[in-house]
Chain A
Amino acid sequence: MSVIDYLWLMVLMALTTAVTRSFFFLLADSRMPPWLQHALGYVPAIALAAIIAPDLLMSGGQLAINPSNAKLLAGIAATIFFLLTRHLISTLAFGMAVFTLLRLFAPAL
């Protein structure tokens, strides 16, 4: 691909980002029906859960709800840690530490 073609492609791709991300910035009306406003209130929690669930519950494209899934164990440990401390950065550090220890010292578990 030539330099010019590549730059054009990048402009087009940036446009897909801009248009999808701003879709309801451009279309929405501040007078949305109440039921829709209510339903949208659930979106953040649901979207985040849908993003992280495959990373925690799957391994190599397969469902992996078992004790040899280091990400799942570290995720559970991080959840408990967060519920106790309510502190994001230390939860991140704790979760990565658990994950790394499991990976290094219990690869087969």
Chain B
Amino acid sequence: MDSLQAEQAAREKAAFWDGVRISAPTMPGLVAWGAVTGMVLVQSGLSLWQAIVMTLMVYAGSAQLAVLPLIVAGAPVWLIFLTALLVNFRFIIFSAVVGPHFSHLHWTRRLWYGYFNADLVMAFFPQRFPQHTLSKPTGKLGYFMGLAMPTWCSWQLGSLIGILLASQIPREWGIGFAGTLVLLGLTIPLIVNRATLAGVIVASGVAVAASGLPYRFGLVVAMLAGIAASVTIDRITGSATDQERGKS
């Protein structure tokens, strides 16, 4: 290996551990969240092996929960597939935040990395690599995997705990609330200006109002409304985000 390659590898490795360090505090919340999902899988009628295979392969909590009644009722495979697809629709918006940074990779690798682009990864990644760093690939893969691997591991660990201990964790403990608290702690520092605050308020309101929509479409509607609110406030006040003001 020549020295340039070695240097690059070292930089990716350092970025990986940066990612692990910054996402580590979220793990207890993710484990708790996974545990709740795992418990429901078993309690709704999946067998042990069915629940474990689903968790390890599908890696999408809401979709897993949404298809449970269909599987238990013996619904046709295409209907279950379609339901999962619709519930996962919101991930498309997540992918727009991180995906463009990896447009230089071969498509099979983009598909592989994309699979791991969960909510938390999407929340952390742009804090280190905002949109104006699109053309600079250094450290991104390492950092991405440093966020994605602990996220995958803690979610799966939690899910397996939930599946195996399903009957031993009382539901009224509300341990899933730990996941909400972690996301709350991640959201607050992201609210850096009035435009973001407006988007957060509008998205929260719409998410509540539209929570009855099927396939978690309420989340999609809420996100679109929130983005529209942020951009509008931006236009009115003429303020850009701090990052953009500083660097471009």
Contacts and interface: CB of A to CB of B under 8 A. Distances in A.
A72 to B, nearest CB: 11
Contact of B114 (A21, A82, A103): A21
Nearest to A70: B174
A67 to B, nearest CB: 17
Contacts, number: 285
B84 A88 contact: no
Interface residues of A, number: 70
Interface residues of B, number: 101
Contacts of A18: 111, 114-115
Contact of A47 (B50, B119, B206): B119
- Secondary structure at the B interface, as helix, strand, loop or mixed, is helix
Interface in A9-66: 9-14, 16-32, 35, 37-58, 61, 63
- Secondary structure at the A interface, as helix, strand, loop or mixed, is helix
Contact of A20 (B88, B205, B206, B241): B88
Nearest to A96: B178
A109 interface: no
B196 A25 contact: no
Interface stretch (B4-12, B125-133, B157-165): B125-133
B115 A22 contact: yes
B166 interface: no
Contacts of A82: 184-185, 188
B208 A63 contact: yes
A7 interface: yes
A90 B40 CA distance: 27
Given A17-B60, A24-B92, A41-B241, 16 more contacts: A8-B77, A17-B84, A17-B115, A20-B88, A20-B95, A24-B95, A28-B100, A39-B227, A41-B130, A43-B223, A46-B196, A46-B227, A47-B203, A50-B218, A58-B208, A63-B208
